């Protein structure tokens, strides 16, 4: 049963040049105890769709239409005061860059204490004891010492563990991880991903994992939503999306797959890159938004916009030619 359902969400931004449709009709769901990976290039609307859940969008942004149903309540209809009770308590966020997310003038103890004191009504001394427990849970050595330190005294990996501890302090039902491993080296990244999977199993927390890295998605996600130009272009379980014999896919998903290095790739073979760049949100192409970069695009793709079609019980693709064998004959 879905813990969270996003239904036809439209999040727009007012700019001097016009209205930017950052999220334009996005629908996906997160099941209880599961991880949904949201993947796509920068500018595809991944983070905006996630931050819309908590109304954490810039001042010129607004939710134009759609629903975000969490535990039976539509988050788009809640007041700011009602959202304060949900943020950090029922839904928490691990932000992309821990150095800018943590306050440099406060100790780790003070910053992790806030959710305990604000949401659970703990006294300062009790919250301090809970901080040490949380730091120990995220595998930080000498948690009593680290609690008294400041963010600049910690490494990048330890700061990210602190962010995870802060996010999980009140045992939220949903954890939004917004590219939490981007600034980390691969060794620390692997440790953080393993830690998140371990904590998910222990606490039963659902995770919305936002990233541009398909390798991370393959390791973390139960289901995957691929986004492009503010739309979901493919929605499928990870086991289906990454299956080598999968009959259907979106050309954008296929391009992302081909651009990932593999151990069995010959040393003299160049990786296949997706040509061009994501179009400017104020100058989107007519028809399929991916058509200008798609090697399978036809005249129909240039003029008509495809719907998100159900290919099987567990897979949806926004393409006129979702069958791989069919579109390979149309390669331009």
Q: Residue 38 corresponds to which tokens in the numbers above?
A: 């949201």
Q: What is the share, in percent, of the chain residues with pLDDT greater than 70?
A: 97
Q: How confident is the model at residue 331 (pLDDT cuts 50, 70, 90)?
A: low
Give the angle 301-306-312 at the CA atoms, nearest 5°. 125
Q: Residue 30 corresponds to which tokens in the numbers above?
A: 């997160």
Q: Residue 25 corresponds to which tokens in the numbers above?
A: 């009709």
Q: What Cα–Cα distance (Å) separates residue 280 from each residue in 20, 63, 274, 289, 309?
A: 9, 20, 16, 11, 25
The arithmetic mean of pLDDT across residues 301-323, rounded, is 92
- As a whole number of angstroms, the distance between CA 173 and CA 92 comes to 8
**pLDDT at position 330, please?**
57
**pLDDT at position 273, please?**
84
- As a whole number of angstroms, the distance between CA 9 and CA 229 comes to 14
Tell whether the model's pLDDT for residue 189 goes beyond 70: yes
**Chain center to CA of 249:** 20
Closest CA to 22 of 41, 38, 51, 43: 43
Contact call for residues 157 and 188 (beta carbons, < 8 A): yes
Greater confidence, 54 or 262?
54
Question: Kind of pairing, strands 315-317 and 309-312?
Answer: antiparallel
C-beta contacts of 322-325 below 8 A and 24+ residues apart? 322/248, 322/249, 322/250, 323/247, 323/248, 324/246, 324/247, 324/248, 324/249, 324/254, 325/247
End-to-end Cα separation, the chain, in angstroms:
42
**Chain center to CA of 72:** 22
- As a whole number of angstroms, the distance between CA 321 and CA 9 comes to 25
The arithmetic mean of pLDDT across residues 250-275, rounded, is 82
- As a whole number of angstroms, the distance between CA 81 and CA 89 comes to 13
- As a whole number of angstroms, the distance between CA 287 and CA 303 comes to 4
């Amino acid at each position: 049963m879905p813990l969270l359902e996003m239904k036809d969400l439209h999040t727009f931004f007012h700019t001097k040049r016009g209205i930017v449709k950052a999220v334009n009709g996005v629908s996906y769901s997160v099941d209880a105890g599961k991880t949904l990976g949201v993947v796509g290039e920068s500018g595809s609307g991944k983070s905006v769709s996630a931050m819309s859940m908590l109304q954490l969008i810039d001042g010129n942004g607004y939710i134009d239409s759609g629903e975000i149903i969490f535990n039976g309540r539509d988050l788009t209809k809640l007041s700011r005061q009602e959202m304060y009770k949900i943020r950090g308590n029922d839904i928490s966020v691990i932000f992309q860059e821990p150095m800018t997310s943590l306050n440099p003038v406060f100790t780790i103890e003070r910053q992790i204490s806030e959710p305990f004191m604000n949401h659970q009504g703990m006294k300062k001394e009790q919250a301090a004891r809970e901080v040490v427990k949380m730091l120990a849970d995220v595998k930080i050595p000498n948690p009593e010492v680290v609690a008294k330190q400041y963010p600049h005294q910690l490494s990048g990996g330890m700061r990210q563990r602190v962010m995870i501890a802060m996010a999980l302090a009140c045992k939220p039902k949903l954890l939004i991880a917004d590219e939490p491993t981007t600034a980390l080296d691969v060794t620390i990244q692997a440790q953080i991903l393993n830690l998140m999977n371990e904590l998910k199993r222990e606490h039963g927390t659902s995770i919305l994992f936002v990233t541009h890295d398909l390798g991370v998605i393959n390791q973390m996600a139960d289901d995957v939503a691929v986004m492009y130009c503010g739309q979901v272009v493919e929605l499928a379980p990870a086991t289906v999306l990454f299956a080598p014999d999968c009959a259907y896919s979106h050309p954008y998903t296929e391009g992302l797959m081909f651009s990932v290095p593999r151990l069995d790739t010959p040393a003299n073979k160049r990786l296949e890159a997706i040509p061009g760049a994501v179009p400017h949100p104020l100058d989107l192409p007519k028809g399929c938004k991916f058509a200008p970069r798609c090697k399978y695009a036809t005249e129909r793709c240039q003029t008509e916009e495809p719907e998100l079609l159900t290919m099987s019980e567990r897979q949806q693709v926004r393409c006129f030619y979702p069958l791989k064998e069919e579109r390979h004959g149309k390669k331009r």
